[in-house]
Amino acid sequence: MTTESIALPGRGEGIVRTRGFGAVSGRVVVWIVLAVFGILSIVPMIWLILAPSKTGQQLNDNPPFSFGSFEQYGVTWNNLLSQNDGIILKWMANSVTYTASIVVISCVTAVLAGYALAATTLPFKRVLLIITLIAMIIPPVALVVPLFVEISAIGLYDNPASVILTSSFYPFGVFLAYIYFSTSIPTEIYEAAKVDGAGEFTTFFRIALPLSKGLFGMLAFFSFSAAWVNYFLPYVLLQSQENFNLSVGLGFLFTSSPALNPQNGAQQSLIGRPEIALASLLLAIPILIVFIASSRLLVRGVLAGAVKS
């Protein structure tokens, strides 16, 4: 953030000098709009954090932003654990394993491919780049049914590997890496290394890789945010409850417990609305932490830095 505030002190100075009544009231309106949008953005998160501290009854009767008790968080958690012998723990572990595998495979393949496109002699480079761009713009959801057809045909249905492998295809990462290696690092460096007798791999590992820590951060950020909340693909590719990730598991709690669906009321279940809220919170918190920790990455570069050449 420091570089930014040094770089931009000039903004708004002209306005300060000519500030009249109109300008001041204009500023007030701007601040109100920005603040209201900020409040609307965090209200649901505050609600979600408070909800598991209350019993289902308190959730109904007490004001939306009231706090129950810290003990109730424990009670809610234990209720959640009661579901199918603590399957929530399995879902969380699955989410961690799947996401970690996807981040590693997707980032490594993307960095290698981006480098190959940017700095090596690769046949059909333009065609490969165009296919990558098309694949990057198509939302992953569009391929879910085709992937299901294929995965069933090769016998990987209900196998966690199906989710990990299909989600590791990361054309956006390849594009980011390609732009990074072709703009942020001067091509003369690669050429100099090759003149000195270094092969493609030596150049990559000795020269390019040490210069791409920032790139890895950005790739991992986007890969993580997509993989952690992945819903439709695992929902379609996985069948057994013990293979679900947290996102699909939460959807399952949603549709199978009486919490939100009174028609399931006949079942004996401890899963009520506070328990569902706690599971949602467990899904939201890791991604929130990663977002906030990476907010600096998001400011520069995602589009402007990536595409400006």
Partner 1 sequence: MFAPYLILLVLFGILPIIQATITSIGPSIVNPAGGLQNFADVVADVRFLPALMNVVVFLLMYVPAMIIVVSLMSLLLDTVQGRWNLPLRLTYIVPASMTGATAVLIWYFMLEPSLSPYRDALHALGITQGNQIWRQGGLAWIFVAMAFFVGAGNWIVVQYGSLQSISEDVLEAARIDGANAWQIGWRIKLPLIRKYLVYMGILVFAAGLQVFVEPQLISGSVYTGIAKDWSLNQLSYDLAFQSNNLAGSAALSLMLLVVCIVAAIVVIFRTDFFEGTGVGKK
Regarding 94 and contact with partner 1 (CB under 8 A), the answer is no
Q: Distance between CA 229 and CA 245 in Å, rounded?
A: 9
Residues in contact with partner 1, counted by CB under 8 A, come to a total of 117
Regarding 186 and contact with partner 1 (CB under 8 A), the answer is no
* Closest distance of CB 250 from partner 1, Å: 4
* Closest distance of CB 8 from partner 1, Å: 6
- Taking contact as CB under 8 A, which single stretch among the options 34-42, 78-86, 189-197, 216-224 is the one that binds partner 1? 34-42
Q: Which of residues 108-167 bind partner 1 (CB under 8 A)?
A: 108-110, 112-113, 115-117, 120, 122, 125-126, 128-139, 141-150, 153, 165-166
Regarding 292 and contact with partner 1 (CB under 8 A), the answer is yes
Regarding 92 and contact with partner 1 (CB under 8 A), the answer is no
* Closest distance of CB 97 from partner 1, Å: 19
Q: Which of residues 187-206 bind partner 1 (CB under 8 A)?
A: 200-201, 204
Q: Which C-beta is closer to partner 1: that of 100 or that of 299?
A: 299
